Amino acid sequence: MDLAYYPGCSLYQSAKLYNHQIKLVLGMLDLKLKELEDWSCCGATSAGKINDFMAVALPARNIGIAESTGLSELVIPCSACYSRTMVAQKQLQDFPLLKNEINFELSKKTTGNIKVSSALDVLRREIKGSRFKSIPLQKLEGYSPACYYGCMNTRFPYDVPISDNVENPQAMETVLEATGVKAVDWNYKTLCCGASSVIYNPEGALDLMAKIMRDAVSRDADCFVVNCPMCQMNMESQQDNFCEKHDIKERLPVYFITELIGMAFGLSKEELQPGDDLFINGMDWTDLCGDSV
Amino acid sequence: MASEPFEYTPQAADVFTQEVMARSGQNLTACYQCKRCASGCPVAEDTDMVTPNRLIRMVVLGDIENALTNKLTWKCLFCHTCGTRCPNNIKTGRIADTLKKMALDAGIDPQQPEYKNFHRAFFNYSLRWGRINEIGMMGEFQLRNMWDHLKKGNYVAILSEIMSKSTLAWKMFKQKRLHLSFHSSKGRDEISRLYKKSSGRKWI
């Protein structure tokens, strides 16, 4: 099946690995991601801080392009892009005058009706399908990940349909369980990591991340699993800083959900992390998959 | 901090509340101070006791100065925990966001000086090129910070800005997280036409 695909800016840059892996994993489930032609930035949280109109208009352009492909569903892996697009779409539906005003300038008009899903929604749906059941799964033993969702999967600045439990989301746990990994039960899976405030209010953001880390460690988690490029970046690149500040000795690797699923699907390290320009350190492949890798 | 008792002026309070309600799209008068928002707020322990419910009360009472300058308004992370827990569906995150905008409109300096520069750099970059390139965007952000320091004649701050940001950049480069490729979108003329249309609008 073909799905429209909006990667967003960070999946072309700091979260390049996520872009690569999501295509690979969904490809194995017979889903082909058709990247939107000439997509543009969704404005993330910054557009709404300055200009409310552009916060709707920027995602509206991408929704218009997605609708023009004729495909029925738009998949967005990045949580911030997903949140912005969901909110903008609902606002386009709720304010027809605003929609007309925006459409007047767009070459690909939007109706605001395409189905928008996060990559996680798609994964959770596909594990029930026959394609998933036909893939021979590798056993990932000795893994207790803490699934960290952050804010943008379940909490929105506008009333939109929410695809998971707001306080205790289960999508990643469900997907991991289907691949044979039992995630730990913990408290801080939806606490904010500070997001971009790590740039302009670092102390506050580090305190929040330390809370998340401390709870994950006390529950004996041995890694984080995330689906948001911002959370991944913060929890990994700031980990030494917040752990040193709060006397936490442990360090946990932070993986995208696709990394674990890819391994369970039997993909090799070279397939999941090709080339030199991709990151993530810490995953000990020989430990996980024995000699087969 | 001892301060003058606040004098309630119904008319001023009403005008202010109406503007915040229109710009944030939230019905502030529905708040009955149950404090579910307060117990969930991740930054509330660090805001001098200003919790989301108290922020709403400040606005409704027309305490304009405090509403625009308290710590919660500036520390709010827009995480929306308050909004999802509110029994009356008031998204206080959007109120804090609105108050930040109103404060900037009124010429009040943000409590975290880099807040304005960061979002401005991000937004402008997305308008200019249609897509964000992290190096370019962070470069613009840094130049804006340095320009602010220069205007104040604070040369030491310029130097520490260069040092701290280049340390971060080098760290990210070593982690293979900085990419030098450049991306843009051809649709940026559409975007700039939309931007022209938005000028002067205070809300959507």
- Identify the domain boundary among A121, A147, A177: A121
Note whether A49 contacts B97, CB cutoff 8 Å: yes
Provide the ipTM: 0.92
Residue B173 contacts residue A40 (beta carbons within 8 Å): no
Positive or negative torsion for Cα B26, B32, B37, B38: positive
pLDDT score of B18: 97
Residue A225 has pLDDT above 60, yes or no: yes
**Which CATH number belongs to the domain containing residue A79 in this structure?**
1.20.1050.140
Burial of A270 per CB tally in 10 Å (0-12, 13-18, 19+): exposed
pLDDT of residue B2: 58
Assess whether pLDDT exceeds 60 at residue A167.
Answer: yes
H or E stretch at B164? helix B155-174
User: Can you give the pLDDT at residue A275?
Assistant: 64
Mark whether A157 and A87 lie in a shared domain.
no
**Tally of structural domains, chain A:** 2
Per-residue pLDDT at B1: 54
Q: Is residue A132 part of a domain?
A: no
Report how far residue B132's alpha carbon sits from residue B182's, in angstroms, rounded to the nearest whole number.
9
Min Cα separation B188/chain A (Å): 8
Residue A131 lies in a domain: no
**Region A186-213 average pLDDT:** 95
Flag whether pLDDT at A290 surpasses 90. no
- Give the pLDDT mean for B140-154: 92
Average the pLDDT over A205-234 and give the result: 95
Which chain B residue is nearest to residue A211, measuring alpha carbons? B42
* Residue A130 belongs to some domain of the structure: no
* Chain A contact set for B27 (CB, 8 A): none
C-beta of residue A82 within 8 angstroms of C-beta of residue A14: no
* Average pLDDT in chain A: 91
| pLDDT reported for residue A278 | 46
Instruction: Look up residue A49 and give its two tokens.
Output: 């801080």
- The answer to whether residues A201 and A243 belong to one domain is yes
- Please tell me which residue of chain B has the smallest CA distance to A188: B42
How far is CA A19 from each of CA A14, A101, A227, B8, rounded to the nearest angstrom? 10, 33, 11, 55
Domain identity same for A145 and A170: yes
Span B48-61, average pLDDT: 96
Give the structural domain span for A101.
Answer: 2-121
Q: What is the pLDDT of residue B192?
A: 94
Query: What is the Cα–Cα distance from A78 to A134, expressed in whole angstroms?
Result: 28
SS3 A3: strand
Give CA–CA dist A292/A139, Å, rounded: 12
From A96, A121, A146, the end of a domain falls on A121
A274: confidence class by pLDDT, cuts 50, 70, 90? confident
pLDDT of residue A57: 97
Domain covering B10-105, topology: Fumarate Reductase Iron-sulfur Protein; Chain B, domain 2 (1.10.1060)
Q: Which residues of A touch B122 (CB under 8 A)?
A: 44, 46
pLDDT attached to residue B90? 97
A220 located within any domain = yes
Highest mean pLDDT among A267-281, B68-82, B133-147: B68-82
Q: What is the pLDDT of residues B75-124, one digit of tens each?
A: 999 999 999 999 999 999 999 999 999 999 999 999 998 999 999 999 99
Partner-chain contact B177 A14, CB within 8 Å: yes
A106 with A146, same domain: the answer is no
Instruction: Give the separation between CA B17 and CA B129, rounded to whole angstroms.
Output: 37
Under the banding of pLDDT at 50, 70 and 90, the label for residue A289 is very low
Asked whether the predicted pLDDT for residue A282 surpasses 60, the reply is: no
Q: Which two tokens stand for residue A98?
A: 């605003």
In the predicted model, what is the mean pLDDT of chain B? 92
Q: Tell me, what DSSP letter sits at residue A141?
A: -
Q: What confidence category does residue B4 fall into, taking pLDDT thresholds of 50, 70 and 90?
A: confident
Write out pLDDT tens, residues A109-148.
Answer: 999 999 999 999 999 999 999 999 999 999 888 889 999 9
Nearest residue on chain A to B198, judged by CA atoms? A53
Q: Which of B23, B118, B132 sits opposite A41 (nearest CB)?
A: B132
Domain ranges of chain B: 10-105, 114-198
**CATH number, domain containing residue A212:** 3.40.50.11810
H helical segments located in chain A: 16-28, 44-50, 52-68, 79-94, 96-105, 119-126, 130-134, 171-178, 197-200, 202-218, 229-237, 239-245, 257-264, 269-272, 285-289
Q: Which residues in chain A have Cβ-Cβ distances shorter than 8 Å to B100?
A: 49
Say yes or no for a CB contact (<8 Å) between B177 and A233: yes
Distance CA A131, CA B173 (A): 39
The CA distance from A159 to A93, in Å, is 12
Tell if the CB–CB gap between A61 and B201 is shorter than 8 Å: no
Question: Does A205 share its domain with A155?
Answer: yes
Mean pLDDT of B46-62: 96
Residues of chain B contacting residue A275, judged by C-beta atoms under 8 Å apart: none
Interface test with chain A among B20, B94, B126, by most A beta carbons within 10 Å: B126
Q: Which of A17, A188, A197, A281 to mutate to test the interface with B (most CBs of B within 10 A)?
A: A197
A12 touches chain B (CB under 8 A): yes
Higher pLDDT, A39 or B172: A39
The tokens describing A255, both together, are: 């993986």
Give the percent of chain B with pLDDT over 70. 97
**Structural tokens at position A48:** 């709404």
- Decide if pLDDT at A286 tops 70: no
Chain-chain contact of A105 with B75 (C-beta, under 8 angstroms):
no
Average pLDDT, integer, range A233-242: 90
Cβ separation B84–A56 shorter than 8 A: no
- Chain B nearest-CA distance from A266, in A, is 25
**Is A160 touching B (CB cutoff 8 A)?**
no
Higher-confidence residue of A39 and A269: namely A39
Is residue A246 over pLDDT 50? yes
Both A144 and A111 in one domain: the answer is no
Alpha helices in A2-128 (DSSP H): 16-28, 44-50, 52-68, 79-94, 96-105, 119-126
**Residue with token string 């029925």:** A72
pLDDT at res. B163: 86
Count Cβ–Cβ pairs < 8 Å, chain A vs chain B.
174
Q: Confirm whether A126 is domain-assigned.
A: no
CB contact under 8 A, A279 and B177: yes
CB atoms within 10 A of CB B134: 19
pLDDT > 90: percent of chain B? 77
Residues of A in contact with B141 (CB under 8 A): 199
Handedness of CA A184, A186, A189, A193 (dihedral sign): negative
- pLDDT of B12 higher than 60: yes
Interchain contact, B84 vs A40, CB within 8 Å: no
